[in-house]
Amino acid sequence: MSEHINKAGDLGQIREHLLYLKELGVGLVTAPDDLNADRPAVDRPGTKNELTQVNADLIATTVKIPPPDAASTIDKRSSAISRLRSLPRLSKRTDPAVMGTGAAPDEMIKKTGLTGDRSTIEAIEAIRNEIGQECSRCSLCSLGRSQVVNSVGNTNARLMFVGEAPGADEDRIGEPFVGRAGQLLTDIIEKGLEIPREQVFIGNINRCRPPGNRAPEPDEAAACKPFLLREIETVKPKVIVVLGATAAHNLLDVKTPISKMRGQFHDYMGVKVMPTFHPAYLLRDPNKKREVWEDIKLVRALLNELAE
């Protein structure tokens, strides 16, 4: 009976995973041998069995997950982490009011669209108010923006996402990542990381839409970025995923191509930062989803490690 239940649970999880991989465009997947070692051969994906049958409707092809190179990943990560330890860090949360102890009243959550404890919501609200809806700190205010698009999510999030600037949908709705790229980001968060989107914090380097979705100019980014940095200082995420070259270059103050930055953690004031390809780029080149999936697996592993 319990074996039966476990098998049903396994099947559900594997089905969910295959669906996600399929969405990410990963064509061929079989579980690595070490994942299969404790399973009877009949249950192993990739063999002609009940499971393969169940998944036949999900994937037209046989699927292959490359086995993780655990040793080299850990080596790479520990040397990167010890290097990161010597860099400047965000201040620790010492004020008990900022430790998540003061629950935010429902009206505050409803009014701001933010979740978290009272004092961090208030701090993010103060930043929003300082920016104002009529912000004119850079030229984007007169280049066709409809509104300032502020960061959203959980102000005590362990994980934060940073994009470039709002697109047409975000400009219309007033929230970051709500268009097609945003839907893909939601899948990455909810299916890849298995975290509800509302539990992470999501912002952009620039809060106003650049005309024709061009990248923000350096002076535009410089005018807006300080507010995002203050939000990072308030939320104190454990990990930041930075989406695309423009956001990565602006947050980390480097010019390295994104393809060279991704796949390893960088440092922003003691916070681990994983640069990866922007979801809008994945919509144009779905082959790059495999690399994003690799980056997301590193983020997931680090979040688990930091939770232990």
For the segment 169-208, give every residue that binds ligand URA (CB under 6 A). Answer: 170, 176-177, 181-182, 204
Cβ of residue 274: shortest distance to ligand URA, in angstroms? 16
Q: What are phi and psi of 267, to 5 degrees?
A: -120, 135
How near is the Cβ of 136 to ligand URA at its closest, in Å? 21
Query: Cβ atoms within 10 A of the Cβ of 47, count?
Result: 13
Whichever of 167 and 192 has its CB closer to ligand URA, that residue is 167
**Span from 21-29, 59-67, 91-99, 166-174 in contact with ligand URA (CB under 6 A):** 166-174
Look at residues 286, 256, 186 and name the one whose alpha carbon lies nearest to residue 275: 256
**Which ranges in 152-277 belong to alpha helices (H)?**
168-173, 180-187, 218-235, 245-252, 258-261
Q: Considering the complex, what minimum distance in angstroms separates the CB of residue 288 from ligand URA?
A: 16
Binding to ligand URA in span 204-233, by CB under 6 A? 204
CA nearest to 161, candidates 64, 275, 60: 275
Binder among 45, 153, 163, 210 for ligand URA (CB under 6 A) = 163
Nearest residue to 262 (alpha-carbon basis) of 225, 228, 227, 290: 290
Q: Does 104 bind ligand URA (CB under 6 A)?
A: no
Q: Which is nearer to ligand URA, 45 or 153 (CB)?
A: 153
Q: Which residues contact 81 (CB under 8 A, 6 or more apart)?
A: 265, 272
- Least Cα distance to 128 among 142, 114, 141, 115 occurs for 114
Residue 165 interacting with ligand URA (CB under 6 A): yes
**Region of 95-103, 138-146, 157-165, 263-271 interacting with ligand URA (CB under 6 A):** 157-165
Cα 83 from Cα 106, distance rounded (Å): 42
Residue nearest to ligand URA (CB): 163
Using the rule CB under 6 A, is 167 a contact of ligand URA? Answer: yes
Q: Rank residues 167 and 275 by Cβ distance to ligand URA and give the closer one.
A: 167
Q: How many CB atoms lie within 10 A of CB 181?
A: 21
Residue 184 or 271: which CB sits closer to ligand URA? 184
- The CB-side HSE value for 83 (13 A sphere, CA atoms) comes to 12
The nearer residue to ligand URA, 181 or 248, going by C-beta atoms, is: 181
Question: Footprint of ligand URA on this chain (CB under 6 A)?
Answer: 163-167, 170, 176-177, 181-182, 204, 280
